[in-house]
């Protein structure tokens, strides 16, 4: 599979109201064309509710993703706040549609690595410990969550991925940083970047205005959901031109060597 078709959903996440959010997602994707991957925003079921009890909603959110994957026959990815010891993990699930005769569908996940100290995120959320690459056909994908975007060393492409995906609740007050860093990550890592953000005010009164976008390996936008509007964009990424560009301009050969320490 030398192409990858991806749909990204942008909407106003209802605070601690999973069923309302499931209904919104179903409505927005009701006419979805066939895609390989459907991306939902960070904490798509509840909003970024750090202090509140979210454990009762975690299983429902995962079950919803699995139903959506089956309905659209595609992989569905989005982050969920799940219980982890006496805290939570911000778990970026990737759910495959169940194959015929299989009792359990494939599920993979990445736990958010970088926690926002100014918001005391570490008080409520455990830090992820692994950098993960997920494969879909010929494409290798690096999943990231929101604040991870600010840490380029963790995301440095060691010629081991083709697409960076970041799902977020990135506030409108720092929107310029979001737009700038997404383009920078695409250029410096010579990769496609897919970024999904939310709309509206969350339960803490923090405003969000979108910025859901697909960017090519030159840092140029392919498609974007309009700001302050709910909607879905669908893009098809092609691997041959990416491979050709990397071959003609192999910047990774001049990269610094380093080792990540947990």
pLDDT exceeds 80 at position 145: yes
Torsion of CA 147, 231, 239, 160, to 10 degrees: 20
Note the pLDDT tens digit of each residue in 85-124.
Answer: 999 999 999 999 987 766 678 999 999 999 998 888 999 9
Note the pLDDT tens digit of each residue in 161-188.
Answer: 999 999 999 999 999 999 999 999 999 9
Query: How confident is the prediction for the chain on average, in pLDDT?
Result: 95
Note the pLDDT tens digit of each residue in 205-234.
Answer: 999 999 999 999 999 999 999 999 999 999
Q: Percent of the chain, pLDDT > 90? A: 90
pLDDT exceeds 70 at position 21: yes
Q: What is the largest CA-CA distance in the chain?
A: 51
3-state SS string for 138-170: CEEEEEEEHHHHHCHHHHCCCCCCCEEEEECCC
Contacts of 181 (CB under 8 A, 6+ apart): 149, 150
How far is the C-alpha of 212 from the C-alpha of 6, rounded, in Å? 12
Domains and CATH numbers, the chain: 3-253 (3.60.110.10)
How far is the C-alpha of 72 from the C-alpha of 38, rounded, in Å? 9
By annotation, the residues acting in catalysis are: 42, 112, 146
pTM of the model: 0.96
């Amino acid at each position: 599979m030398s192409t990858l078709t991806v749909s990204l959903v942008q909407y106003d996440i209802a605070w601690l109201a999973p069923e309302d959010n499931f209904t919104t997602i179903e409505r927005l994707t009701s006419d979805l064309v066939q895609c390989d991957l459907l991306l939902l925003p960070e904490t798509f079921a509840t909003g970024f509710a750090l202090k509140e009890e979210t454990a009762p909603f975690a299983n429902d959110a995962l079950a919803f993703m699995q139903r959506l994957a089956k309905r659209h026959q595609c992989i569905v990815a989005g982050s969920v706040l799940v219980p982890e010891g006496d805290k939570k993990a911000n778990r970026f699930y990737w759910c495959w549609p169940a194959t015929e005769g299989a009792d359990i569908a494939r599920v993979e996940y990445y736990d958010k690595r970088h926690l926002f100290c100014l918001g005391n995120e570490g008080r409520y959320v455990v830090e992820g410990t692994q950098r993960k690459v997920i494969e879909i056909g010929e494409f290798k994908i690096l999943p990231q969550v929101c604040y991870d975007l600010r840490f380029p060393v963790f995301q440095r492409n060691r010629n081991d991925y083709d697409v960076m995906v970041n799902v977020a609740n990135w506030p409108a007050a720092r929107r310029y940083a979001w737009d700038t860093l997404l383009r920078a990550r695409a250029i410096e890592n010579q990769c496609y970047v897919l970024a999904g953000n939310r709309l509206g005010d969350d339960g803490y009164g923090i405003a969000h205005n979108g910025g859901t976008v697909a960017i090519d390996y030159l840092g140029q936008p392919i498609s974007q959901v309009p700001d302050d509007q709910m909607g879905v964009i669908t893009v098809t990424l092609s691997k041959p031109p990416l491979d050709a560009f990397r071959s003609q301009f192999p910047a990774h050969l001049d990269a610094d060597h380093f080792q990540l320490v947990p």
